[in-house]
Amino acid sequence: MTRQRAAVSEALDRLDDFRSAQQIHDVMRQGGDTIGLATVYRTLQALADHGDVDVLRTEDGESHYRRCERDEHHHHLVCRGCGRTIEIDGPTVESWANTVGAAHGFTGIEHTIELFGTCADCAAAAAARAGD
Amino acid sequence: MTRQRAAVSEALDRLDDFRSAQQIHDVMRQGGDTIGLATVYRTLQALADHGDVDVLRTEDGESHYRRCERDEHHHHLVCRGCGRTIEIDGPTVESWANTVGAAHGFTGIEHTIELFGTCADCAAAAAARAGD
DNA sequence: GGGCTAATTGATAATGAATGTCAAAACCGT
DNA sequence: ACGGTTTTGACATTCATTATCAATTAGCCC
Ligand SMILES: [Zn+2]
Ligand SMILES: [Zn+2]
Ligand SMILES: [Zn+2]
Ligand SMILES: [Zn+2]
């Protein structure tokens, strides 16, 4: 464990939503940390491999990282407006994925499931903006 | 409708699995078509916007395109070995996505669902390779 | 602590998919 | 065929991510 890895881990604890490696690097620099961008990339990937952070591929192909509350397998409901993220588990979809995979003779099924929408706050803000 | 767009559409008809824009461009060139890479990118994106082709973001961030049999909303079960793709519909997951989104006050729910696995042929090939 | 070796760091260069540029070519209604 | 509009495509550019590799650091034994 190095000073830099500990710093990335702490930064992730402070941040709530999914952030790109570059955003995390910026935040750390702003907070006084001395760390290189390459190290942030490497550390985040290592954390992701170990399952310590979750990765979300954004619509434009960037990888965003987030330390999640629960360690168990789960999915995400992300607000398109503010990025607020809610952790979701769906026992039904888990078994559905395996069942439908097996039905077609596939083994070693993995799945990618993410939900996107507009949260109540952002919807209210949009309505206020339209109504003034 | 231009000669190039028609050619891309025909190429997509001939190809079965998800291919990248560059792979499609290569195949077309090999087949004697004269077309620029930028045009292939533009055409594929336009087709994707119109819902005429499906897009799959691969693990390394590339966009792969495929003309699907059915026009209606559906998802994919993709073999990690050979790329064979099966179209899936899951009424349960569709309603699940909307329900869980609404339960958290989210509106305008969209979802990303993809299944990956090893098809029976690829599993058999792997077993034969291990057992010789 | 001091020294030693292997792992890590980080400034920089390199990669590569995707997009922007813009003059030339193709399209289409007349 | 003609002229205005759209499309094309070779090329340059962007930008996230990865590779490089000398300098630094961590971990460990004495
Ligand atoms: Zn929001
Ligand atoms: Zn799941
Ligand atoms: Zn297969
Ligand atoms: Zn669906």
Q: Ligand 4 centre from A96 Cα, in Å?
A: 13
Provide the pLDDT confidence category of residue B41 given band limits of 50, 70 and 90. very high
Q: Pairing state of beta strands B107-118 and B75-79?
A: parallel
Q: A125: exposed, middle or buried (C-beta count within 10 Å: 0-12, 13-18, 19+)?
A: middle
Query: What b/e readout covers A66-88, taking b as 16+ CB neighbours within 10 angstroms?
Result: bebeeeeebbbbbbeeeebbbeb
Give percent of chain B with pLDDT exceeding 90.
Answer: 95
Which pLDDT belongs to residue B116? 97
Residues of B in contact with A116 (CB under 8 A): 109-112
Question: How far, in Å, is the CA of A34 from the C1' of nucleotide D30?
Answer: 33
3-state secondary structure of A14: helix
CA A43 to each of CA A40, A64, B53, B99: distance values in angstroms, whole numbers, following the listed order: 5, 13, 37, 36
Cβ atoms of B83 and B46 within 8 Å: the answer is no
Q: Which two tokens stand for residue B61?
A: 């961030």
List chain A residues with pLDDT less than 50. none
CB proximity A20–strand D (7 Å threshold): yes
A77-113 pLDDT, tens per residue?
A: 999 999 999 999 999 999 999 999 999 999 999 999 9
Question: CB–CB of B96 and A90 under 8 A?
Answer: yes
